[in-house]
Amino acid sequence: MTAQPMDDRDLLSILKQEEVDASSYYSSELAHKQADAMDRYNAELYGDEVEGRSKFVSQDLENTVQTIMPHIMRLFMQDDELLTVDDDVNDITEIEQHVKSYLLHIFFKDNPGETICHDFVWDGLVQRIGIVRVAVEDPKPQPPKEYHGLTPDQAMRFVEDPEFEIIEQTNNEGSFDLKVKRTPKAKQFVIEAVAPEEFAITTRSKSIDEAGYHRLKQEVYIADLAREFPDSAGELDPTGAHATDDQQDDLDSDPRKQARFDSENYDTNGGQSHEQQRRTVDLLTEWIRIDFDGDGVVELRQVKRVGNTILENIIVEHSELVEWSPSRIPHKAIGRSVADQICELQKAATVVTRTYFDGLGQSLMPRTVVNQQQLADPSVLDQIIDRDIGDTIPINGDARSAIAEMPTPDVSQSALAALEHLDQQLEQASGVMRAAQGQNADAVTETADGIRRLQAAANGRIELIGRWAAKGVERIFQRLLKLVMQY
């Protein structure tokens, strides 16, 4: 039986259903855990604090991530050992070296390579998955520039160069003043880290490369979209006839974004500016495996749409997105993070430390028992309650029969033992060991062989995380190389 070609209405219906399912799965299963991990990293209060008691919050997650990050980032700093380009067909070392240099130039010069690596790794450690977009885009026009006192030869260069458009010119008796706008003709290779709330993938996906559907949602200016897709410019208004109920600022209301900007006064209506030139919409870039043309072959299609308006529908070889997780779960796209292993330990350490501080405070300033029947002057009770340091409290009668301190048992040793146990659990969960970093005073009494074994155990876990991160970076450069060859 021959399949029938689909039209845009059929495709739109499938895309919207897939997007709802993917977003629902991603939000319900991961969004709140990712938002909670962000709160734990920022050492936000848990919400169960009691007035007058300790509000201490342990910072185990931040300390662990900041200890692991330098080890992994050291792998990706630009040097001769970062990238190797091999040609299985031709043994031409000179060409391979040129390709390597060009890829590194695109990554570190045309794009902020160090920042991309940092965010890619950090998102994986804290948010379970790090995502990078590798794409090629048409160049954007640059702001106009003014040049004064140009010679005729210098002015002619702007006239003859197709990248420049002369907006204004003035002839000053042998010299020229020009106002020009430059629009580069060559494609631009764009590499950028993707925020967790902008990504969604279908359930039971093994990876992005094998997923039946995944999408990227980004807030973009309508003016930029209208320039890129002029035929659909009239359908991009988020309040127009093509708008949908989900055309809201859901990215701004996402718990992960709110957790990231918790301390900032964030304007959730920023996307609906009253200035026409600054109005934004949510652009969905979707990748779906489907037989759109009815030829009996399921192909990977990249679709760009705003609401009900499909702007682009093309066949692609692979997605623009690359992912990694620090703790892989076989046959699952999204693994586990360092935060998953530490957050409960951080909460336990917070509870124990708060109890320790509360007990210490009560030991230093014990509660006072007052026998009001023995107080001849009841107004003295207010002075006793104030508990000013060094204060004199005049009473009539025997103070020992009217006032007594209620001592609090010293539980500091039990609390400190519990914290030591939690530190050991944290070391096992994260692989970050105090002895291996020279932070444990007892480590100096251990044998050199024992120290080496401790360091090997700690470094082994961090090294494994680094290897998975390196696989992700390797795929980034593989995608970049394919785009360079294609364009």
Q: What is the DSSP string of 39-71?
A: HHHTT---S---TTS------HHHHHHHHHHHH
Q: Assign 13 a pLDDT band (cuts: 50, 70, 90).
A: very high
> Is 186 within a domain?
no
Q: Among 85-89, 160-164, 257-261, 391-395, name the one with the lowest average pLDDT.
A: 391-395
Residue 350 pLDDT exceeds 90: yes
Is the domain of 389 the same as that of 469? no
Mean pLDDT of 382-386: 67
> Is 36 within a domain?
yes
Say what the pLDDT of residue 441 is: 43
Is the domain of 159 the same as that of 245? no
pTM metric for this prediction? 0.81
Domain end: 119, 153, 181, which one? 181
Structure tokens at 312: 């682009």
Q: The domain containing residue 60 runs over which residues?
A: 8-136+195-336+464-486
Residue 63 pLDDT exceeds 80: yes
Is the domain of 213 the same as that of 295? yes
Domain end: 406, 426, 456, which one? 406
Say what the pLDDT of residue 145 is: 92
> Is 188 within a domain?
no
Q: Assign 374 a pLDDT band (cuts: 50, 70, 90).
A: low
Q: What is the DSSP letter of 109?
A: I
Is the domain of 262 the same as that of 113? yes
> Is 190 within a domain?
no
Q: Assign 96 a pLDDT band (cuts: 50, 70, 90).
A: confident
Question: pLDDT tens digit string along 413-445?
Answer: 888 888 887 888 777 767 675 545 544 444 444
Instruction: Say how far apart CA 187 and CA 425 lie, in whole Å.
Output: 51
Describe the crossing of helices 338-364 and 32-41 by its angle, rounded to 10 degrees.
50
State what percent of residues in the chain have pLDDT above 90: 48
Q: Assign 278 a pLDDT band (cuts: 50, 70, 90).
A: confident
Is the domain of 132 the same as that of 150? no
Is the domain of 318 the same as that of 263? yes
Mean pLDDT of 259-285: 69
> Is 277 within a domain?
yes
User: With contact defined as beta carbons under 8 Å apart, do 432 and 458 qualify?
Assistant: yes
> Is 450 within a domain?
no
Selected residue with higher pLDDT from 334 and 26: 334
Say what the pLDDT of residue 262 is: 75
Selected residue with higher pLDDT from 288 and 277: 288
> Is 459 within a domain?
no
Is the domain of 125 the same as that of 152? no
Main-chain phi, psi angles of 191, to 5 degrees: -125, 125
Say what the pLDDT of residue 385 is: 67
Q: What is the DSSP letter of 434?
A: T
Instruction: Say how far apart CA 481 and CA 270 lie, in whole Å.
Output: 37
User: With contact defined as beta carbons under 8 Å apart, do 15 and 288 qualify?
Assistant: yes
Is the domain of 132 the same as that of 243? yes
Question: pLDDT tens digit string along 99-111?
Answer: 999 999 999 999 9
> Is 457 within a domain?
no
Residue 455 pLDDT exceeds 90: no
Mean pLDDT of 67-80: 84
Is the domain of 234 the same as that of 152? no
Give how many domains the chain has, as a whole number. Answer: 3
Say what the pLDDT of residue 319 is: 96
Say what the pLDDT of residue 366 is: 74
Q: What is the DSSP letter of 6?
A: P
Say what the pLDDT of residue 440 is: 47
